Structure 1
Amino acid sequence: MSEATITTPAEREIRVERDFAAPVARVWQAYTDPDLLAQWWGRGNKLTIERMEVERGGRWRIVEHGPEGDSGFEGRVREVVPHERIVQTFEWDGMPGHVIVETAEFTDLGDGRTRVTTTSLFHTTEERDGMLGSGMATGLNESYAALDALLARQV
């Protein structure tokens, strides 16, 4: 498939849209099943899924084991509407206290295709711009390419 479309619709937001060649149920499962998530989320690096509670008030924690060392990510789930929407916080161990609120929406495009739209809300424009300058787009597209490969294997 193609690369994600990344925009800044508001001064504290990043919006990412990406279409996948799989039905909503399979894309949702790849986002919420720890065994599947571990196969694509970390840009091809080994992941340890320490916690994955996909329910309101649930917690999640993932550690990525990359060439530069380990990086931990975690958050709390605020809202879950199966096959439609997940709202959760996102925090990187490298910047404790800088919490992002992420909303992922899953849209059935028909013909077995799904659009995932993720909106990340930051505390400040500077935090948002820092994320944009961090290489986020490259890592995101690498992870989404791994998700494409996973979804293709599941056919």
Structure 2
Amino acid sequence: MSKNKPFGLDPAARSRARRRALQAVYAWEMGGAKMGAVIEQFRSEQDMEIADAEYFEALLRGVEEHRQVLDEGLAPHLDRDVDQVDPIERAALRVAAFELKFRPDVPYRVILNEAIECTKRFGAEHGHTYVNGVLDKLAEDWRGPEKYHKGQ
């Protein structure tokens, strides 16, 4: 982490935290382990020193705690049941939905861009376009005033 930036505000470290959070949410959903065990596994197996570890854990705990609210917000914008969405895309959608709903300090454009980039990196060839479309609509629902206030 850069010594010039306060802890938790380094954009590169937050970006790495989001990438690891997507992977961890995927592992949590696919493996069925408790979230605490997934967090500990990632902390011991991944290079978390270059990621914002506190933000990583906050994302995972938030997705776990608010999954029903997140899925209810996503559902009207999906073309299928949330459980039928590709697991990588679903993990990206849930992490981004958590940020959109519960992290108003993070601009929605940053959230969408990060989710798209993570999906490009880990998902199917065109999965990022699906994630972009869903999150753009969700941002209108949950961040409408921010989105329209900035002339977007």
Scaled by the length of structure 1, the TM-score of the pair is 0.31
Give the strand-richer structure, 1 or 2: 1
Structure having greater relative contact order (Cα 8 Å, sep ≥ 6) = 1
Higher percent of residues as helix: 2
